[in-house]
Structures are given as C-alpha cells and as structure tokens.
Amino acid sequence: MKEIVFATNNQHKLNELRAIVGDRFRILSLAEIGCHDDIPETADTLEGNALMKARYVKEHYGYDCFADDTGLMVDALGGAPGVYSARYAGPGHDSVANVNLLLKNMEGKTDRSARFITVIALIMGDEEYTFEGRVEGHILTERHGEAGFGYDPIFQPVESDCSFACMSSEAKNAISHRGRATAKLVKKLTE
Ligand code: IMP
C-alpha cells in the first residue's frame, strides 16, 4: 500500500482522513515518521504555510506529504484573524480567548459576513498541488452550541440556521471548508 504523510499530529484530522481514504493509502502522522520538530509556519498566506509544512517533511524525511492550514476571514475586520486565526488572542492563548476577542472586536458591527478557508498542499514525487475549500457565513453576536472546536460556536454557515457548534460532525463536514478541500485532495489521491 502507498504511504503518505499528513503533516499533523491532530488525531481528529487523522481519523477523518483515514476513514475517507480507506485502504487506498496508508496515512502516517508526524509522530509515526519520528518527526517531533517544530515545523515553521511563518508565511503570511494559508497556501504559503501549507506548502511550507509539506515541503519541510518532503525535504527532511523524504516522504510524499500533504499539509493543511485554515483561517477565518471576517470582512468587517479587513480579513482578520485570517492566517493568524490560531493565535489571534496572542501566543499561548486558547480558543476561548480567541472567540472572546473576536466577539469584542465585532461589537457594533452590522456587516458580520465571514468565511472559513482551508488550503491543503500536496507533494507527490516532484509535483506540488494545492486545494482550497471555503464556506461562507456570518459571525454571531454570542456563542451557540456545544459541539466542534475553535470558532465553531460563533460561525453560522449560509447553508444552516444554526452555528457549526450546533451541527453533527457529519453535517459540518459535508459543507465545511476542510470537508471541501479534503474532497479535492482525496479525488487527486485516488484518481
Ligand atoms: P489549523 O490551521 O487547522 O490549525 O486552524 C487554525 C485555527 O483556525 C485553529 O486554531 C482554530 O481555532 C481555527 N479553526 C480551524 N478549523 C476550524 C473549524 O472547522 N471550526 C472552527 N475553528 C476552526
């Protein structure tokens, strides 16, 4: 079976990908190839960061690899938090702090439109590919729902009348940024 590295140690993301790809590829985590490095993610675009991570694994470990990067772009904030979504409230802060800061910065804003974007970079042999998935929606004025993670409780996709945190993971994956980018990746891997 062909092997490919997913440049993550996020078990949730690994399980999701393995379930979709089935036995067509063996998907290895960073830990499984003995990579415990702090891989640089210093680009100022999602695509740049995804490519940086995938290239790092290819160059240092020799494996074909894919890597993802996600951001929440809010129009009234000029596209913030964007590529800095994970550390919006500063280094060492968690999702609770990120959501609190975003709600504060959105106080009084009438334009609440936003989108999640995921870019996945894939390196197979000498070829590089990128796949983008996005979902449009708006930022709620307070948290709704208990499921999901990150900004899910305050993001309502246009396809739904509740936040991502009110949806089952199947319903979210069917329309989400990551689900849509992943579908393009899987199509490439299995063609
Ligand atoms: P990452 O690139 O997957 O690490 O995502 C960057 C940041 O975006 C994370 O720290 C999360 O806060 C946020 N994020 C990514 N995907 C989602 C999602 O599906 N729902 C809510 N927040 C997300």
pLDDT digits (tens, 9 = 90+) for 117-132: 999 999 999 999 999 9
Measured from the CA of 13, which atom of ligand 1 is nearest?
3
Asked if residues 156 and 140 have their Cβ atoms less than 8 Å apart, the reply is yes
Rounded to 5 degrees, φ, ψ at 158 are: -60, -25
Better-scored residue on pLDDT, 2 or 102 = 102
Peptide bond into 81 cis (omega under 30): yes
**Options 69, 94, 111, 126, the catalytic residue:** 69
| Token reading at 76 | 């009234």
Between 23 and 96, whose confidence is greater? Answer: 96
pLDDT of residue 23: 84
What band does 12 get if pLDDT is binned at 50, 70 and 90?
confident
93: confidence class by pLDDT, cuts 50, 70, 90: confident
CA of 49 to the centre of ligand 1 (A): 14
- Is there a catalytic annotation at residue 161? no
| Reported confidence tier of residue 158, pLDDT bands at 50, 70, 90 | very high
85, 88, 160, best to mutate for ligand 1 pocket (most atoms within 8 Å of CB): 85
Tell me the pairing of strands 25-28 and 155-157.
unpaired
Measured CA to CA, the distance from residue 183 to residue 181 in angstroms comes to 5
Q: pLDDT category, 91, cuts 50, 70, 90?
A: confident
Predicted local confidence at residue 150, as pLDDT: 94
Average pLDDT, whole number, for the chain?
A: 95
| Band of residue 169 on the pLDDT scale cut at 50, 70, 90 | confident
Mean of the pLDDT values across residues 38-47?
95
**4 Cα: distance to centroid of ligand 1 (angstroms):** 23
C-beta neighbour count of 123 within 10 angstroms: 22
CA distance 97 to 105: 12
* Ligand 1 site, CB within 6 A: 69-70, 85-86, 95, 98, 148-152, 164, 176, 178
